[in-house]
Amino acid sequence: MTARTRRPHPHLFEISAWPWLERLSRQTGREVTLASVPDAEWDWVAAQGFDQVYLMGVWRRSALGRELARRDPQLRTEYDRVLPGWTDEDVPGSPYCIAAYEPDDRMGGWGGLDATRAALHARGLTLIVDFVPNHTGFDHRWVLEYPDRYVLGEDTDWNAAPEDFRRVGSAIVACGRDPYFAPWRDVAQLNYFNSDTRAAMTGVLGEIAAHVDGVRCDMAMLVLNDVFAGTWRRVLRDRWRAPDEEFWPRATATVPSLLYLAEVYWDLEWTLQQQGFDFTYDKRLVDRLHGGHAADVRGHLMADAPFRDRLARFLENHDEPRSAAQLGWRLPAAAAMLATLPGMRFYFDGQLQGYKLRAPVHLGRWQEEPEIPEICGLYHRLLAAANEDVFHRGDWSLLDVHHAGDGTHHDLIAWQWREGSTLSVIVVNLGTGPAHGHVALSDLPSGVAYDFADRMTDRSYRWTRDALEITGLYVRLDPGQPHVFAVRASP
Coil vs helix vs strand at 428: strand
The answer to whether the beta carbons of residues 455 and 484 sit under 8 Å apart is yes
For CA atoms 58, 63, 65, 66, the dihedral sign is positive
Highest mean pLDDT among 283-292, 305-314, 470-479: 305-314
In this structure, what is the dihedral angle of CA atoms 424, 430, 432, 437, given to the nearest 10 degrees?
Answer: -50
The answer to whether the beta carbons of residues 447 and 467 sit under 8 Å apart is yes
Model pLDDT, residue 431: 93
Give the C-alpha separation, 423 to 396, whole Å. 10
Model pLDDT, residue 323: 97
What end-to-end distance do the CA atoms of the chain give, in Å? 42
The answer to whether the beta carbons of residues 129 and 217 sit under 8 Å apart is no
Query: What is the CATH superfamily name and number for domain 395-489?
Result: Golgi alpha-mannosidase II (2.60.40.1180)
Reported as a single tens digit per residue, the pLDDT across 152-208 is 999 999 999 999 999 999 999 999 999 999 999 999 999 999 999 999 999 999 999
Which amino acid is present at 22? E
Q: Which residues pair with 174 in a beta bridge?
A: 165
Reported as a single tens digit per residue, the pLDDT across 359-373 is 999 999 999 999 999
**Helices 331-340 & 283-291, crossing angle to 10 degrees?**
160
Q: Which residues pair with 460 in a beta bridge?
A: 453
Confidence at 445, pLDDT banded by 50, 70, 90: confident
Reported as a single tens digit per residue, the pLDDT across 414-439 is 999 999 999 999 999 999 999 999 99
Mean per-residue pLDDT, 213-241: 96
Model pLDDT, residue 446: 80
Mean per-residue pLDDT, 73-99: 98
Confidence at 467, pLDDT banded by 50, 70, 90: low
Model pLDDT, residue 6: 79
141 has a pLDDT exceeding 80: yes
DSSP H stretches of helix in 211-274: 225-236, 247-254, 269-274
Architecture of domain 11-131+282-387: Alpha-Beta Barrel (3.20)
Confidence at 490, pLDDT banded by 50, 70, 90: confident
94 has a pLDDT exceeding 90: yes
65 has a pLDDT exceeding 90: yes
Give the C-alpha separation, 461 to 347, whole Å. 31
Model pLDDT, residue 466: 73
Mean per-residue pLDDT, 56-67: 98
Model pLDDT, residue 491: 76
Q: Give the neighbor-by-neighbor strand order of the sheet with 412-419.
A: 395-399, 412-419, 422-429, 482-489, 449-454, 460-464
2 has a pLDDT exceeding 60: no
Mean per-residue pLDDT, 97-111: 97
The full set of domain ranges for the chain reads 11-131+282-387, 395-489
Model pLDDT, residue 4: 43
Specify the pTM. Answer: 0.96
Please name which of 437, 462, 461 lies closest in space to residue 449, comparing C-alpha atoms: 462
469 has a pLDDT exceeding 70: no
Strands (E), 304-433: 311-314, 344-348, 395-399, 401-402, 412-419, 422-429
Q: Give the neighbor-by-neighbor strand order of the sheet with 401-402.
A: 401-402, 435-439, 473-477
Mean per-residue pLDDT, 454-472: 83
DSSP H stretches of helix in 275-423: 283-291, 294-300, 305-308, 323-326, 331-340, 373-386, 390-393
Model pLDDT, residue 175: 98
Give the C-alpha separation, 181 to 162, whole Å. 16
Q: How far is CA 59 from CA 17, 22, 108, 132, 368, in A?
A: 10, 16, 11, 10, 25
406 has a pLDDT exceeding 90: no
